Amino acid sequence: MLTRSEVFAFAKKATRGAGFTWGMAEEAATATLALYIAGYDGFSELTLILVNADGKNQPFSITDTIPCGLTLGTYLADSGKKAGTEKVIGHYIFQALCGTLDKNKPNFPDDAPQIIKDFAYRTYVPDSEESRLHGAG
């Protein structure tokens, strides 16, 4: 079973690997962790956002026809507004960022899905002899 810090780390690295800024990656990781604490599958909701956002300029505009749940949720959380009932991509992350999820029994996964690991892998520096000489694993 993954710990809270492992869920947070995987979500943060995966979001960064999809092209979001580190600040947005922090928001996504916080929301993903909040989903697991509330009893939801945070990685599946995050995956929807990452696949949709991959390779596009980040963050999306909140005025897009189908706004990114992470971008919209962050905007609303920063401005102190609450989530509505509109269907958006990653609406659970949108709700987690805005604090509207009911708390259930926490349900943490045994491991991160491969797609989350693949996005996270993009943030790693390739190994080299020089990096090993400087103490990298």
What are the pLDDT tens digits along the chain (137 aa)? Answer: 999 999 999 999 999 999 898 999 999 999 999 999 999 999 999 998 898 888 776 666 666 666 778 888 887 877 777 766 666 777 788 888 888 788 788 889 999 999 999 999 999 878 788 877 877 76
Q: Judge whether 134 lies within some domain.
A: no
3-state secondary structure at position 37: helix
Provide the domain limits for residue 47. Answer: 4-127
Instruction: Write down the pLDDT at residue 93.
Output: 85
Q: Is residue 103 part of a domain?
A: yes
**What's the total number of domains in the chain?**
1
What would the two tokens of residue 119 be?
A: 């996005």
Is there a domain that residue 137 lies in? Answer: no
> What is the CB neighbour count within 10 angstroms for residue 110?
6
Residues shown for the chain: 137
pTM summary value: 0.84
Is 136 within a domain? Answer: no
Asked if the structure places residue 121 within a domain, the reply is yes
The answer to whether residue 133 is domain-embedded is no
